[in-house]
Amino acid sequence: MFVHPSSHVFKPFKYKTLEDLRNELKRLSIPLPINANTENLREAIQSKHINIPNRLSIQPMEGFDAKLNGSPSELTYRRYTRYAKGGAGLIWFEATAISEDCRSNDHQLILTEENVNNFKELTSLTRTQANQTLESLGFKNRCRLILQLNHSGRYSKRNGKKNPIRAYHNDELDNAISVKREDGIIISDEELKEIRDIWVNKAILAKDAGFDGVDIKACHGYLISELLSAHNRKNSEYGGSSLENRSKLLIEIITKLQNKFRKDSGFKVTSRIGAYDGIPYPNGFGVKSIANQTFPASVDLEEPIELINKLYELDVKLLNITAGNPHYKGYITRPYDIPVKGGRLPKEHPLFSAYRIIYLTSVIKSLISQDMIIVGSGYTYFRQFAGNLASGLIQRGMVDICGFGRMSFANPEFAKQIFQGKTIDKAKACISCSKCSQFMREGKSTGCAVRDPEYINRE
């Protein structure tokens, strides 16, 4: 389905005009549509399932700036106020831990009964500012706020120390984060059932906190994502050869929530799905089940599409698609020009890395029920031309909403700039320098070290 071109070599972003970008895409035989006119990004999503004011979204990017008890801090309020002023119709809140035991950073958000009122204040202020901004831009529908709930799994930390909670052993993934096989635990089925119930309770709490929906995170190598690839988890209800078992935790959580919210169709249950992680079988998801492959493994979307169809049967009608594992060869999900400290440049062209995730999303979109609303990823690398790409993709029906992660750190007003001036401000765009990823790896609060004065010179 998707062939990696061995002739591609890495080249950084040096495109000064749309024509320059089009010419490079043509040279690489990458068929991405680029529109000069971006007016269609103003179109609303209006369905019986959900209304969203426009076709742009803030993606969930951990700020790691919460208070030690998991409550939002002044920096958290600052970030979401900036997002709210930016004009995106959907704000997908960052990964929030379901408990203190599964944070990936001591300053990751945690939603608890003790701090739910703090989250209520955050959602209220974000919604009020976002709706004022949208109204000023001529939009009628209100902004939608989704909270991502996560268990960090293999990437969990306690008191600043790595404490991996794995679905199965994988020495290569351990080596990538400098942990040993004897560190942490392999989580048991009974513990997974306890976590399932905690997850459900926290999702119910998210509704009380004022969110419009909750995302049960299933991507980027965290616990549910790792279970989806747990072919080597033997004698377990939550692993082995069958996708039914490997997806069981996700399905159980969503089933319980849909039963809970059946009478409240206004609150949406969704997920951010990692449709392809590139890790060779038997430790990868969305890859061909053949031996002796190297990274990135050949794509096979049969299981991801089967899973998405199952979610659709459970009345999930909004889904966020991503790929890769940012802790392991992160260029699959975040193409860059400069790697994190100690990292390497990939062998493939960054435009091809971006195309992979965009293409896979479009294939999924074409093969599932058309009233499933798909949020896509992978656009930030296109910098000032990202809106032109998003417009082309929307026009072709390749995705419904285009979500931006690193761009929202660097330039939270990217959507407003597109709506008002038809293009993103080049002087404010993300330059894919990996400094925000470096902050994450170092356990620091995270933002843009190039464009945001709060983070400049913090290294």
Instruction: Give the number of domains in the chain.
Output: 1
CATH code of residue 204: 3.20.20.70
Q: Is residue 302, in this structure, part of any structural domain at all?
A: yes
Q: Is residue 451, in this structure, part of any structural domain at all?
A: no
Torsion of CA 448, 453, 457, 459, to 10 degrees: -30
Name the residue with tokens 């942990």.
179
| Tokens at 312, concatenated | 């659709």
Pick the more confident residue, 421 or 272. 272
pTM, full prediction: 0.97
Q: Are 285 and 277 in contact (CB under 8 A)?
A: yes
What is residue 393's three-state secondary structure? helix
Q: Give the pLDDT band of residue 459 (cuts 50, 70, 90).
A: low
Q: Is residue 456, in this structure, part of any structural domain at all?
A: no
Q: Is residue 13, in this structure, part of any structural domain at all?
A: no
**Is the pLDDT confidence value at 1 over 60?**
no
Q: Is residue 99, in this structure, part of any structural domain at all?
A: yes
Pick from 83-87, 259-263, 310-314: least confident:
259-263
Q: Is residue 136, in this structure, part of any structural domain at all?
A: yes
Q: Is residue 458, in this structure, part of any structural domain at all?
A: no
As a whole number of angstroms, the distance between CA 228 and CA 434 comes to: 28
Q: What percent of the chain clears pLDDT 90, i.e. is strictly above it?
A: 94
Q: What is the pLDDT of residues 325-377, one digit of tens each?
A: 999 999 999 999 999 999 999 999 999 999 999 999 999 999 999 999 999 99
Q: What is the pLDDT of residues 163-204, one digit of tens each?
A: 999 999 999 999 999 999 999 999 999 999 999 999 999 999
Question: Residue 254 is part of which domain span?
Answer: 18-441
What is residue 211's three-state secondary structure? coil
Q: Is residue 316, in this structure, part of any structural domain at all?
A: yes
